[in-house]
A = this chain, B = another copy of it.
Amino acid sequence: MGRAASVEDEVIYARLAEVFRANGYAGASLSALSEAVGLQRASLYHRFPSGKHGMAAAVLTSMEANFDTILRPLVTAPDVADGVAEMARRLALGYRDGRLACVLDTMTLAGAPDDIKAQAGRLARTWVRAMADAAVRAGVGEEDALGRARAALVRIEGALVVARVLDDRSVFTQALGELPDLLTR
């Protein structure tokens, strides 16, 4: 083994994510990423030989793992609506009650490489699938469930945008509150 890393991988991903989600792919500069992580630019290139592109890919991959945690209640909760409510609580935490933007939104603008957009797309599909499955378990028909799951994602992403634009977090909180009924009733 060589020299130990001064910053843990998962900590790096989390700090990179802060910059990417707030500024988007194009808007996230190496200087900002470097400062957020607490490593010089050259050190970041040692961790991510393919540069910014590799950092963005790593952030999304790490986020995929985090989503497992956020989505787990959808599967494990005895009552589906309770599971959705628990997912909503975890989302509130992850998005800091609507103060933070979503990478699905900001990392899919025109400046991003195609495979990063594709990775974000897969992440979104995983999320929709998980919500649709939960709806089915609540007795909703398969076709209808998929539509409701997409509607849920629409409300989450839309609420994040509107909360930011109107500078009013309550929009997000309210959208989260509607999710259990939306997915199970």
Chain A residues near B (Cβ < 8 Å): 22-27, 101-102, 104-106, 108-111, 117, 120-121, 124-125, 128, 147, 150, 153-159, 161-162, 164-167, 171, 174-175
Cross-interface CB contact of A161 among B25, B128, B157, B171, cutoff 8 Å: B157
Contact across chains for A108 and B162 when beta carbons are under 8 A apart: no
Q: Please indicate the chain B residues that have their CB under 8 angstroms from the CB of A167 in the complex.
A: 121
Can you list 18 A-B contacts with CB-CB less than 8 angstroms, sorted by A residue number? A23-B110, A23-B111, A24-B24, A24-B109, A26-B26, A27-B109, A117-B165, A121-B167, A124-B162, A124-B166, A125-B166, A150-B162, A150-B166, A154-B155, A154-B175, A156-B158, A157-B165, A158-B158
A178 to chain B, nearest CB (A): 9
**Interface SS majority for chain A:** helix
